[in-house]
Amino acid sequence: MKRKILVNVVGVLLAFLLGAVVMLVQGYNPLETYYRLFEYSLAPGKIAYTLSKSVPLVLTGMSASVAFASGPINLGQPGQLLMGALLATIGGLYIDLPPLLMIPFLLILAMLGGALWSGVAALLKYWFNMSEFITTLMLNMIADFFTYWAINYPFFEKNANHPQTPFIAKSGWMPEWGNFNSSVIVMVLAFAVIWFIVNRSTAGYEWRLSGQNSLFSRLGGVNISKNYLVVMLLTGALAGLAGGLVVMAGPHRFIKDIGGNYAWDGVMIAMVANSGIILTLVFGFFFSVLQTGSLGMELITAVPKELIQVLQAVIVLIVVAGRGYFETFFAKLEARRKMRERIA
Amino acid sequence: MNIILGLINGMITSATPILLAALGGSLTYYAGIFNIAMEGMMLSGAFFGMLGSYYFHSWPMGILFAILGAILMALIFILFAVVLKMDEFITGIGLNLFAVGATTYMLRQIFKVKGAFASPEIVPIPKIDIPWIKDIPVVGEILSGQNLIVYLTLLATIAVSYLVFKTRFGLRLRAAGYNRTSLDTSGVSANRIRVWSLILCGVLTGLAGSFLSLGYVTLFSEGMSAGRGWISLAAVILVSGNPTGIALISLLFGFTDGLGLFMQRSLPSQFTSMVPYVATLVALFVYSVRLKKKQTI
């Protein structure tokens, strides 16, 4: 356990060191830059905002984590997020209920939207054995164009200068207290549910088993295709939920590029977290710290905030590579120790 | 007649980057590498190609820089996937996102712009008129006057096909993918073959990138590879790496792309832009149905 934490921390530090070298080469002061980065995102008044911004990252990250840990290579989070956001927006445009009903209703719509889109990929695999790895990627592009069409034509806000929908009903806006957006509560609930399913339920045990060794679990009586469908739908729903919350907590309407890079960041978070649910939460928050802080960094030190995107990818590569490297390193040490014991 | 000519020329233009990247993917496919980094390599090639052409006011430098830019990505892939033995899938995804971030960052740092950079200083890759042939009606308009890269792509298809099936390197390449242990025990390092296949993949995807930013259009925009690397990956998987098959599939995708543009008269552009991706799904569908039939026999 300690060793695992050490590997992650060392990997992140190495990535920061590389980032510092890049900054030094370009004539920036890395210490000040990093200080501003963390100051902007972790100052007492700011931390609630950073937490709120971590919601889509953690949710898409959990979607990817659960999928990767259970076998299906669902890379469709970007498309599923958009479809979830679109369905929640449509619900908010045409229906108005009291907030206590409206918010759960829109969240369910968002999850339906995501699950619908991952369901397409799941059925293509189930019926025709088409690899979800490529179909989800293609469906991402299709969802991108489809939602863009939707905000250009049927749900276009008249008189707007660029493609966007009108505001959703006020009752569907996630309540906000200062910098703290209540979407964080939804995220924590989702985290608790997913953690429980994966770690404490029979279904979760079967998923993890199939993820480790599909043949073994089938011989042990696990219904692989049913589990595959359930995992795909669940992970789609998680990504869709992220999309719905982005709309309901943020601009309260569907604007162009609303999905941003959340979903791909989520995939990276899942990878760096080795598909662990708790680590996904930790790294999701950490990535949010970096992204939120990058705004302050750019304001004060003039280092472009795009540097953070590079840093994130470097963190993923170094931490994952380091993990493998350290594991073989420690295994070698262990083997050597045992050998010595035998000789002695 | 003009419509058909337009469709055919559109097909060739859209097929070119996909075909080049897929040929690169074919080499790594035979070497047994699950290489999904074509998207990132292409994007890096497109950026550095633009950079080279802009600074040296010459398109050959542009092509050279594009190839170097893509090879740079290939070297990072080699470092992580071959040297450090990291999961190829994770390396590929990480590298693709690294390419998006790095090109966006450099675009901002070097040119102080966001989104896209265009300038008259960027010299595009010229179109080649072939004497004699260009005077033949109809055929001349297709065979002549294409971008230099298009002709290079044709050569590359033949070269890759020859390399894989007729040379010693090709034999070792296929052996590396088929059974790397036996290749290693026969005294040839499978890792070295893998490294070379990745570098060659870099060269080809670099060319594809240069076609995007210096041929197709003369500008660089963020994420301009727009999923072409993924489509080329689908093409590689569909025909199990065979270069001739890849050429046919790429032309088919190119055709659907051109068809999409043609359909813009009657459909919103958002739907016509979906066509190549839908076509990929349809191709995968046909492939899997055929596979199923084979298995039942």
Asked if the Cβ–Cβ distance from A313 to B80 is below 8 Å, we say no
Whichever domain contains B205, its CATH number is 1.10.3470
| ipTM of the predicted assembly exceeds 0.90 | no
B281 to chain A: nearest residue by CA?
A: A135
Instruction: Write down how long chain B is.
Output: 297
Average of per-residue pLDDT across A77-105: 95
Give the containing element (helix H, strand E) for A297.
helix A277-301
Give the pLDDT band of residue B297 (cuts 50, 70, 90): low
B281 part of contact set with chain A, CB < 8 Å? yes
Nearest CA in chain B to A329: B84
Q: Across-strand partners of A181?
A: A176
Using a CB-CB cut-off of 8 Å, the residues of chain B touching A310 are 98, 101-102, 105
Q: What residues in B contact A135, CB-CB < 8 Å?
A: 281, 284
How far B22 CA lies from chain A's nearest CA (Å)? 15
Token reading at A212: 């480790």
pLDDT score at B292: 79
Which tens digits make up the pLDDT trace of B100-114?
999 999 999 888 888
DSSP helix/strand/coil, B219: strand
d(CA A9, CA A3) in angstroms, rounded, equals 10
Domain span including residue B188:
2-296
Sheet strands (E) in chain B: 116-118, 127-128, 146-147, 219-221
Residue of A nearest to B233 (CA): A134
> Which residues in chain A have their CB less than 8 angstroms from residue B289's CB?
128
- b/e per residue B114-141 (b: at least 16 CB within 10 A): eeebeeeebbbbeeeeeeeeeeeeeeeb
d(CA B119, CA A15): 34
Tell me: the pLDDT tens digits for A129-176? 888 888 999 999 999 999 999 998 888 888 888 889 999 999 999 999
pLDDT confidence tier of residue B52, bands split at 50, 70 and 90: very high
Q: Are A207 and A275 in contact (CB under 8 A)?
A: no
Q: Are B70 and B199 in contact (CB under 8 A)?
A: no
Report the residue of chain B nearest A273, measured CA to CA.
B90
φ, ψ for residue A249 (rounded to 5)? -95, -25
pLDDT digits (tens, 9 = 90+) for B145-183: 788 999 999 999 999 999 999 999 999 999 999 888 889
Q: Do B281 and A317 touch (CB under 8 A)?
A: no
**Predicted confidence band at B140 (pLDDT cuts at 50, 70, 90)?**
confident
**What is the pTM assigned to this prediction?**
0.92
**Is the separation of the CB atoms in B23 and B243 below 8 Å?**
yes
CA angle B274, B278, B284 (to 5 degrees): 155
Give chain B's mean pLDDT.
89
For residue B97, the surrounding DSSP H or E stretch is helix B88-111
Got the DSSP string for A226-262? Answer: HHHHHHHHHHHHHHHHHHHHHHHHTTSS-BTTTTTTH
DSSP letters spanning A52-103: HHTHHHHHHHHHHHHHHHHS-----HHHHHHHHHHHHHHHHHH----HHHHH
Token pair of A106 as six digits: 């829109």
Give Cβ neighbours of residue B184 (< 8 Å, ≥ 6 apart): B190
- Give dist(CA A56, CA A280) in Å, integer: 12
| B280 neighbors B234 (Cβ within 8 angstroms) | yes
Q: Which of A135, A137, A297 to mutate to test the interface with B (most CBs of B within 10 A)?
A: A137
- How far apart, in Å, are the Cα atoms of A298 and each of A36, A301, B221? 9, 6, 22
Where would I find the beta strands (DSSP E) of chain A?
Answer: 176-177, 180-181
Q: Name the domain count of chain B.
A: 1
Number of CB pairs < 8 Å for A and B? 113
Question: Are the Cβ atoms of A325 and B84 closer than 8 angstroms?
Answer: yes
Q: How many residues does chain A have?
A: 344
Q: Which pLDDT score, from 0 to 100, does residue B170 have?
A: 93
Rounded Cα gap, residues A251 and A163, in angstroms: 14
Give the tokens for residue A269: 């978070």
pLDDT in tens, B66-86: 999 999 999 999 999 998 888
